[in-house]
A and B are shown apart, each in its own frame.
Chain A
Amino acid sequence: MVRRVSSRVYLALVFLFLYAPIAVLMIFSFNSARSRGVWGGFTLDWYAQLFRDRQIMSSLYYTIACAVLASVFATVLGTVAAIGLSGMRGLPRALTAQLVYLPMINPDIVMGLSLMLLFISIKIPLGFLSMLLAHITFCLPFVILSVLPKLKQTQAELYDAALDLGATPLVAYGKVIIPQIRPGIITGFLLAFTMSIDDFVVSFFTTGNGVTNVAITIYAMARRGMNPKINALLTIMFAGVIFLLFIANRRTADAKTRR
C-alpha cells in the first residue's frame, strides 16, 4: 500500500517536472503584462496580434511548407529505398544498413555544419531550398526504419502470385505490397513531419537569406526576452497536436470495435 502510494506520488512529481514549463508557456500566453514572470491579468490580445505579426507568420509558413515537402519527399524516397533494401543480401546490405543509421547517429550540430559547408561548396544559396534538402536527409531514416519491419512481415508469395496472374511489377507493388506496408508508411511520414517541425539545429545552420522557421525565431527572440505572441503560437500548435492525437486514437479505437 505504502509502495503504491509512494510510486504514484513519484510519478506525479515527474509529470509536474515535465509539464511545469509547458504550463508556464501556456499561462503566459494569456498574460496582459508583457514581461515574463509578472502576471498582469487575463487577455487574448496576443492571439489576435499573432496573426498580424509578419515575422512569426512567415516563419510559421516556412516551417509548415518545409515539413510538408520534406516529409512527403522523404516518405516516397524512403519507401522506395526500403523496398530496394529488403531485396539486398550480404555485404552491400550490411553497408547500406550502416548508411541508413548515419543521419541518426551523426550529432545534429555536425550534420548541420557539414551540410552548410556542402551547400557553400556546391554553390546552393543558403535559404529555403538548402533547408529543405537538409530536412529530407534527416527525415529519411525515420521513414526507412518504419517501413522495413512492415516489409519483413509481408508475404512475398502474394507478390509472386500477382506476377503469375499477369500483373506488371509496378501494378503488383501498388496493389499488393503497398497496402500491406501502409501503416509503416504512415508512421514514417508522421515521424518525419514531427522531426521537421521541431528541428532547430540543422535548420539554424542550413538556412539563410531571411528564411527562418519557428524554432529559429524563438532562438532569436530568447536573447532579448520572448514575445508572448510566440507563447500563443506554441499553445495553438500544442493544442493542435493533442487534437490530432485524440482523433487518431478515436479512429484506431473505432477500427478495433468495428472488427
Chain B
Amino acid sequence: MRKKLLNGPYLAWMLIFAILPLFIVVWYALTAEIGGERSFSAGSLARVFEPIYLRVLWRSLKLAAVSTLLCFFFGYPVALILTSRQFKRRTILVVLIVLPMWMNFLARTYAWLTLLEKNGVINSVLSFLHLPALSILYTDAAVVLGMVYNFLPFMILPIYSVLYKIDHSLIEAAEDLGATPLVTFRRVIFPQSLAGALSGVIMVFMPAMTTFVIPRLLGGGQYTLIGNLIEQQFLTTYDWGFGSALSLFLMALLLVTGALLMRSRGDGEGGLW
C-alpha cells in the first residue's frame, strides 16, 4: 500500500507541468483582454474558422497527408527488405536507419539547402549528367521532402518491428500451398503488418502536422503552415488568445485523428500495463 505513495511526487509534477499548462491554454483561448482584464469571449475561437486560417489548416493537412503517404510508400519496402533473410547483420542496418536522428534535426534539414540550391550539390550532379536542373527550393515540394526526410525512420521502425515478429512458417506454408510471392505478400504478410503501419502513420502525421521549423527553413520566410501561424501568435504578434485557440483546435483535430486511427487498429497494445 505504501507503494502508492511513491507516485506522489510524479503526480504533483505532472499536475503542475503537464495538466495546468493545458488549462492555461484553454483559459487564454476562451477569454479576451478587455480594458486590462481578461473576460470570457468566444472571439478567438471564432477567428480560427475565418477563411484565411482555414486555408492554412487545409494546406497543412494536405502536406502532412502527402508526406505520410510518401513515407509509407518509401518506408514499407525498406522495412520489408530489412526483415528479409539476405542480410547477416541486419541489426546494424536498423541502427543505420536511426543513426541520423542523433545529429541535430535542424542542422540536417538546413543541409538540404546546400543540396537543393540552384548551384547546389544535386544540380551540379544533374548538370554533369546533362540532366535538367531541379528547382524545388522554397516550394511545397521542398517542405514535403523535408518532412519525409525527417520522419521516414518513424515509419520504417514500427513496420519493421511487426514484420520481424511474423511467424515465418506462415509464409513458408503459403509458398508450399502454391501462392506466388505477390499473393503471399497480399494475403499473409501485409494484413499482419497493418498494426505497425498504423503506428507509423500516426508517428509521421502528428509531427508533420505541427512542425514549424521545416516550412520555415525549406519553404522560405513567408511560408505558413498551422505550426508557423501558432508560433507567430506567441513570439511575434503576441496574440496569446488567438494562438491558444489555434493550439486547442489543432490538439482536438489530432486527438480525433489519432483516436480514429487507433480504433481502426482494434485491440491496441495493452502489453505494457
* A interface with B by C-beta (< 8 Å): 4, 7-8, 10-11, 14-15, 17-22, 24-25, 28, 36-37, 77-78, 80-81, 83-88, 93, 96-97, 99, 102-103, 105-111, 113-118, 121, 133-134, 136-137, 140, 145, 148-149, 152, 169, 194, 198, 200-201, 205, 214-215, 218-219, 222, 226, 230-231, 234, 237-238, 241-242, 245
Query: Are A201 and B254 touching (Cβ within 8 A)?
Result: no
Size band of the B side of the interface? 35 or more
Most buried by B among A10, A97, A113, A148: A113
Could you say which of A24, A205, A219 contacts B115, with CB atoms under 8 Å apart?
A24
Known contacts A97-B273, A198-B104; 6 additional CB pairs below 8 A are A18-B100, A18-B153, A21-B149, A108-B207, A109-B212, A198-B105
Contacts of A140 on B, CB cut-off 8 Å?
A: 10, 13-14
* B interface with A by C-beta (< 8 Å): 2-11, 13-14, 16-22, 24-25, 28, 74, 77-78, 81-82, 84, 86, 93, 95-97, 99-115, 117, 119-121, 149, 152-153, 206-207, 209-213, 217, 227, 230-231, 234-235, 240, 243-244, 247, 250-251, 254, 258, 272-273
Contacts of B18 on A, CB cut-off 8 Å?
A: 99, 102-103, 106, 137
Given contacts A20-B115, A118-B17, contact A218 B78 (CB under 8 A): no
Q: How far is the CA of A28 from the CA of B115 in the complex (A)?
A: 12
Could you say which of B3, B13, B24, B149 contacts A83, with CB atoms under 8 Å apart?
B3
Query: Are A10 and B258 touching (Cβ within 8 A)?
Result: no
Given contacts A117-B24, A121-B24, contact A99 B273 (CB under 8 A): no
Contacts of B120 on A, CB cut-off 8 Å?
A: 37
Could you say which of A11, A80, A109, A169 contacts B81, with CB atoms under 8 Å apart?
A11
Q: How far is the CB of B14 from chain A (nearest CB, A)?
A: 5
Contacts of A111 on B, CB cut-off 8 Å?
A: 21
Query: Are B111 and A22 touching (Cβ within 8 A)?
Result: yes
Contacts of B17 on A, CB cut-off 8 Å?
A: 115, 118, 133-134, 136-137
Contacts of B16 on A, CB cut-off 8 Å?
A: 118
Q: How far is the CA of A38 from the CA of B35 in the complex (A)?
A: 56
Query: Are B103 and A109 touching (Cβ within 8 A)?
Result: no
Chain A: which residue is nearest B148 at the CB level? A17
Query: Are B111 and A205 touching (Cβ within 8 A)?
Result: no
Query: Are B21 and A114 touching (Cβ within 8 A)?
Result: yes
Total A-B residue pairs with C-beta atoms closer than 8 Å? Answer: 209
Query: Are A14 and B78 touching (Cβ within 8 A)?
Result: yes
Q: How far is the CA of A205 from the CA of B240 in the complex (A)?
A: 13
Q: How far is the CA of A90 from the CA of B19 in the complex (A)?
A: 21
Q: How far is the CA of A61 from the CA of B273 in the complex (A)?
A: 38
Given contacts A118-B17, A140-B10, contact A200 B107 (CB under 8 A): no
Contacts of A237 on B, CB cut-off 8 Å?
A: 103-104
Q: How far is the CB of A161 from chain B (nearest CB, A)?
A: 17
Given contacts A114-B25, A117-B21, contact A25 B107 (CB under 8 A): yes
Query: Are A37 and B149 touching (Cβ within 8 A)?
Result: no
Q: How far is the CB of A77 from chain B (nearest CB, A)?
A: 6
Q: How far is the CA of A96 from the CA of B28 in the complex (A)?
A: 26
